[in-house]
Amino acid sequence: MARLREQDARKRAASGYGPDFLEAFARGLRVLRAFDKQHSRMSLSEVARATDLPKPSVRRALYTLTCLGMAQSDGRTFRLTPKVMELASAYLASNLVSTVVQPACERLAERTEQSCFAAVLDGHDIVLIAHSLHGRPDVLAPTIGLRRPAFNTAAGRAILGQLDDAALDAWLATLEPKLMTDFTVTDKRVLRAEILRVRQQGYAITAQELRRGYQAAAVPLRRYDGATIAAICVAVWSEDSSVGSAAERYVAALTEEADALTPQLL
56 and 115 in a single domain? The answer is no
For residue 80, the model assigns a pLDDT of: 92
pLDDT digits over 1-34, tens only? 455 556 656 665 666 677 788 888 989 999 998 9
For residue 23, the model assigns a pLDDT of: 87
pLDDT at 211 over 60: yes
H or E stretch including 185?
none
Q: How many domains does the chain have?
A: 2
**How far apart, in whole angstroms, are the C-alpha atoms of residue 147 and residue 68?**
25
Of 207 and 94, the structure prediction assigns the larger pLDDT to: 207
70 and 136 in a single domain? The answer is no
225 and 128 in a single domain? The answer is yes
pLDDT digits over 109-159, tens only? 999 989 899 999 999 999 998 888 876 544 455 577 888 999 999 999 999
For residue 146, the model assigns a pLDDT of: 85
Cross-strand pairs, 234: 116, 217
pLDDT at 243 over 60: no
For residue 1, the model assigns a pLDDT of: 45
**How far apart, in whole angstroms, are the C-alpha atoms of residue 100 and residue 98?**
6
Does the pTM exceed 0.85? Answer: no
201 and 245 in a single domain? The answer is yes
Final residue belonging to a domain, choices 58, 86, 114: 86
Assess if residue 1 is contained within a domain: no
pLDDT digits over 72-112, tens only? 999 999 999 988 877 776 666 556 566 788 899 999 999 99
**How far apart, in whole angstroms, are the C-alpha atoms of residue 65 and residue 31?**
10
176 and 257 in a single domain? The answer is yes
Domain assignment of residue 14, given as a range: 6-86
**Sequence-ordered list of residues with C-beta below 8 angstroms from that of 223, at least 6 positions apart, any chain:** 229, 262, 265, 266
Give the CATH number of the domain where residue 27 resides: 1.10.10.10
pLDDT digits over 221-232, tens only? 998 889 999 999
**How far apart, in whole angstroms, are the C-alpha atoms of residue 245 and residue 237?**
11
